[in-house]
């Protein structure tokens, strides 16, 4: 077997999609996006490095009248050291990646024949995505060539996002071949010498879900950025017509611009930035706030989630009377984004990313490359970016006061602003340019190719099934909180069993309130977060809102009519706006003045549809008829394709009752409100713990032998109905 001399021969495998050197058809379909751009730019950056003999970017050959004939060329060269090699994979028509699985073995054999036919074999095979991971694993075994792998996105994570869209587990497997994808990812992890990721968070929150997860296998190399597109300005940006257009609604457009740029998505947490601006008069005095949140003609034409975000933004602007100080431009073009960054930098402004969770943070790199200091969420990728670039501050996205303080510090201290601007420019060049990426990449793969560094694998235990087969569900306030030691012990048990058990939190709190409490008490991030008393569902790791659930419960829901009808009832007081949400109306109730049945009768007389629940003797929530914690839990169980018998539910108040009734394994933890659930005492599959909070949950998990037999030891065996 002949290998290249005088430098490394690197083979990059990226099988699906459409790949060529010029005029990339990015966004043409779901398979021609970020990964396509990444592998093309990686190949080009590697070919520029000393010590590289040859780079082949290997993909599927496509002969299809519906796509360009470029993709039918077996070889497409770009210089002496760089080429695209296209290999047949059975049918030559253009197929979506989900349809390629049955043809990957043909692709593998044909690629092996290609290497044998040219009598030149790569020093390293770098597979991209699960399909290439499958091929790369087989080639690594067949040819004895070390494999490096990049997942780009992972099946277990993608499955959660698809569940959030309303698809059921069986439908996901059928439409997306998810089981084959995840098995291929496990195979790639089992065979690859190194796995390259973009952030540390990707390793901890995504790869740890896999049986073949090996921490020593992982290496973080941030993807490169096109620094030719994002560059610092020269100060003349403020003299352009575009500056006037961008700032036309501001009273004093010359002030420093606090800039945010993101989709109108609740996870982006843009409202917190307006609140930070609103609670800080000094910041309003010194700066303007510009929020670029996509393009729109009419808010009412946007999808429901975006409408809700804009509603919150406009309400916050009105609440703090920020007219003339804040603007939300309706339109911008993609090629105007670099100019927007440069304008903000020319004014001495700051770029802010207040997202609840940010997997990477490309906008932060773009802003830094434009000379803008940054303020960013402490969750996820921004930790790495600010550590590398030293050009800003990390903040708690749930605390508007800390956001305001960080921005103000940069606006007021010009010396610090200049220092961070300069450090950001240098840090991006050293860490996030494509040349920097290629150098870090070679430092990782060269010892692997030369066999001077080998992964020492630790034994792994594979689960019996492909997916997690059980779930732990708990409320927050009266369940998980209590003694820190017990909570820490529970958190460790949840972590140890993460690959076999889902962790679900179901709370009456809103999303932001729940996240704040979880962060304060260091509660592990759940796989599913049911909030607002069961009226909202979010899926990890990106807190994707379950849009199908929202559509399902929005049935004959008339919140304005309900609030108007109950406005003057004695013993009933509406809670603050921070406790209200789209599908939840929350009140304080005085049971000495009014009975819940009276409220129900008042609403029934008006033929309104609703569900009412009370908690702790003083709180009352009115929800859509189809919404409750129990209904939400059953919806999640159906989505995950898990029987309710495999769900353990811990409750501590009346609001948890409908989660606990039925086929779930349930436990009432001991606390001062557990008497609200005393009527459940004689029901099978409900255990009353002798200890409170997390300690009571641990006691009940042991009682049910949850991580082994997962059943009630006192339950009477069911008889078959067979005559």
Domain with CATH 3.40.50.2000 in the chain: 8-220, 236-431
Q: What is the pLDDT of residue 405?
A: 97
For residues 84-100, average pLDDT: 93
Give dist(CA 293, CA 310) in Å, integer.
9
pLDDT category, 657, cuts 50, 70, 90? confident
Q: What is the pLDDT of residue 130?
A: 97
Q: Which residues pair with 196 in a beta bridge?
A: 219
Nearest to 571 by CA among 553, 542, 596: 596
pLDDT tens for 346-380 read 999 999 999 988 878 889 999 999 999 999 999 88
pTM: 0.84
CB 137 within 8 A of CB 191: yes
Of residues 60 and 267, the one with the higher pLDDT is 60
CA separation, residue 656 to residues 123, 434, 660, 673, 686 (Å): 58, 52, 7, 11, 12
Q: What is the pLDDT of residue 712?
A: 85
| In the predicted structure, residue 3 carries a pLDDT above the cut 60 | no
Q: What is the pLDDT of residue 723?
A: 42
Domain 8-220, CATH: 3.40.50.2000
Q: What is the pLDDT of residue 717?
A: 61
| Assigned architecture for domain 470-703 | 3-Layer(aba) Sandwich (3.40)
Taking all residues of the chain, what is their mean pLDDT, rounded to a whole number?
Answer: 91
For residues 497-525, average pLDDT: 91
Q: What is the pLDDT of residue 225?
A: 81
Q: What is the pLDDT of residue 326?
A: 97
Residues 6+ apart with CB under 8 A from 534: 506, 623, 627, 628, 629, 630, 631, 632, 633
Cβ atoms within 10 A of the Cβ of 68, count?
Answer: 13
For residues 401-427, average pLDDT: 97
Write out the H or E segment, with its range, that includes residue 646. none
CA separation, residue 170 to residues 105, 107, 179 (Å): 25, 28, 10
Longest dimension (CA), the chain: 89
Block residue for tokens 């309400």: 315
Q: Does domain 236-431 have CATH number 3.40.50.2000?
A: yes
For residues 275-303, average pLDDT: 94
pLDDT tens for 371-397 read 999 999 998 889 999 999 999 999 999
pLDDT category, 722, cuts 50, 70, 90? very low
Give dist(CA 364, CA 381) in Å, integer.
10
pLDDT tens for 475-492 read 988 788 878 899 999 999
N-to-C CA span, the chain? 69
For residues 99-112, average pLDDT: 96
Length of the chain (residues): 723
3-class DSSP assignment, residue 687? strand
CB 127 within 8 A of CB 188: yes
| In the predicted structure, residue 620 carries a pLDDT above the cut 50 | yes
pLDDT tens for 202-224 read 898 889 899 999 999 999 998 88
Domain with CATH 3.40.50.1000 in the chain: 470-703
Beta strands in 32-146 (DSSP E): 52-60, 75-77, 82-87, 124-128
Nearest to 442 by CA among 63, 49, 118: 49
Give dist(CA 705, CA 130) in Å, integer.
36
Give dist(CA 273, CA 292) in Å, integer.
12
Residues 6+ apart with CB under 8 A from 504: 471, 472, 473, 474, 526, 527, 528, 529, 530, 633, 636
Residues 6+ apart with CB under 8 A from 92: 61, 62, 63, 64, 72
Q: What is the pLDDT of residue 610?
A: 93
Q: What is the pLDDT of residue 341?
A: 96
């Amino acid at each position: 077997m002949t290998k290249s001399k005088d430098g490394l021969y690197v083979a990059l495998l990226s099988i699906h999609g459409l790949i060529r050197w010029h005029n990339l058809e990015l966004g043409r379909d779901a398979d021609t996006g970020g990964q396509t751009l990444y592998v093309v730019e990686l190949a080009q950056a590697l070919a520029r490095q000393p010590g590289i003999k040859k780079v082949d970017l290997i993909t599927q050959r496509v002969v299809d009248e519906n796509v360009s004939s470029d993709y039918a060329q077996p070889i497409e060269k770009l210089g002496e050291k760089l080429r695209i090699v296209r290999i047949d994979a059975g049918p030559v028509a253009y197929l979506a990646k989900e349809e390629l699985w049955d043809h990957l073995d043909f692709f593998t054999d044909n690629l092996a024949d290609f290497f044998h036919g040219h009598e030149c074999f790569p020093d390293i095979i770098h597979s991209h995505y699960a399909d290439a991971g499958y091929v790369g694993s087989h080639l690594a075994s067949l040819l004895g060539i070390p494999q490096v792998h990049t997942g780009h996105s992972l099946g277990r994570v993608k499955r959660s996002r698809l569940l959030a869209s309303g698809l059921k587990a069986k439908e996901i497997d059928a439409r997306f071949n998810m089981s084959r994808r995840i098995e291929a990812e496990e195979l790639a992890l089992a065979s690859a010498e190194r796995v390259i990721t973009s952030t540390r968070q990707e390793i901890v929150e995504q790869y740890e879900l896999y049986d073949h997860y090996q921490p020593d296998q992982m290496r973080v190399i941030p993807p490169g950025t096109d620094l030719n597109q994002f560059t610092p300005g020269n100060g003349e940006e403020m003299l352009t017509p575009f500056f006037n257009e961008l700032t036309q609604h501001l009273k004093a457009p010359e002030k420093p611009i606090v800039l945010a740029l993101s989709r109108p998505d609740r996870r982006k947490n843009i409202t917190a930035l307006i609140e930070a601006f609103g609670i800080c008069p000094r910041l309003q005095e010194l700066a303007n706030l510009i929020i670029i949140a996509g393009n729109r003609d009419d808010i009412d034409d946007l999808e429901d989630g975006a409408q809700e975000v804009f509603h919150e933004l406009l309400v916050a602007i009105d609440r703090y009377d920020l007219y003339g100080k804040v603007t939300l431009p309706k339109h911008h073009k993609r090629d105007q984004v670099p100019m927007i960054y440069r304008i903000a930098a020319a004014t001495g402004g700051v770029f802010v990313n207040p997202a609840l969770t940010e997997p990477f943070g490309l906008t932060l790199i773009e802003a830094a490359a434009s000379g803008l200091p940054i303020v960013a969420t402490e969750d996820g990728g921004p930790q790495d970016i600010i550590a590398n670039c030293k050009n800003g501050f990390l903040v708690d996205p749930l605390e508007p006061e800390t956001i305001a303080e960080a921005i103000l510090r940069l606006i007021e201290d010009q010396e610090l602003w200049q220092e961070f601007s300069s450090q950001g420019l240098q840090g991006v060049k050293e860490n996030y340019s494509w040349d920097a990426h290629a150098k870090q990449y070679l430092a990782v793969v060269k010892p692997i190719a030369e066999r001077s560094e080998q992964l020492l694998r630790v034994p792994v235990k594979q689960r019996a099934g492909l997916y997690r087969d059980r779930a732990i569900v708990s409320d927050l306030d009266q369940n998980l909180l209590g003694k820190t030691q017990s909570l820490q012990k529970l958190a460790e048990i949840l972590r140890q069993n993460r690959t076999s058990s889902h962790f679900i939190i179901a709370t009456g709190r809103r999303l932001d309130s729940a996240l704040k409490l979880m962060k304060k008490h260091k509660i592990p991030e759940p796989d599913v977060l049911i909030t607002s008393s069961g009226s909202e569902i979010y899926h990890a790791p990106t807190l994707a809102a379950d849009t199908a659930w929202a559509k399902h419960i929005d049935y004959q829901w008339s919140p304005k009519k309900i609030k108007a009808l109950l406005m003057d009832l004695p013993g009933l007081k509406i809670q603050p706006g921070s406790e209200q949400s789209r599908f939840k109306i929350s009140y304080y109730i005085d049971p000495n003045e009014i009975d819940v049945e009276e409220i129900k009768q008042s609403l029934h007389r008006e033929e309104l549809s609703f569900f009412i629940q009370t908690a702790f003797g003083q709180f009352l929530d009115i929800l859509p008829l189809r919404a409750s914690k129990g209904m939400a839990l059953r919806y999640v169980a159906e989505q995950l394709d898990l029987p309710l018998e495999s769900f353990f539910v811990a409750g501590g108040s009346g609001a948890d009752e409908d989660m606990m009734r039925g086929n779930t394994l349930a436990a009432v933890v001991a606390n001062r409100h557990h008497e609200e659930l005393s009527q459940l005492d004689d029901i099978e599959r409900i255990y009353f713990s002798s200890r409170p909070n997390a300690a009571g949950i641990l006691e009940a998990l042991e009682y049910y032998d949850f991580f082994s037999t997962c059943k009630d030891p006192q339950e009477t065996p069911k008889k078959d109905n067979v005559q």
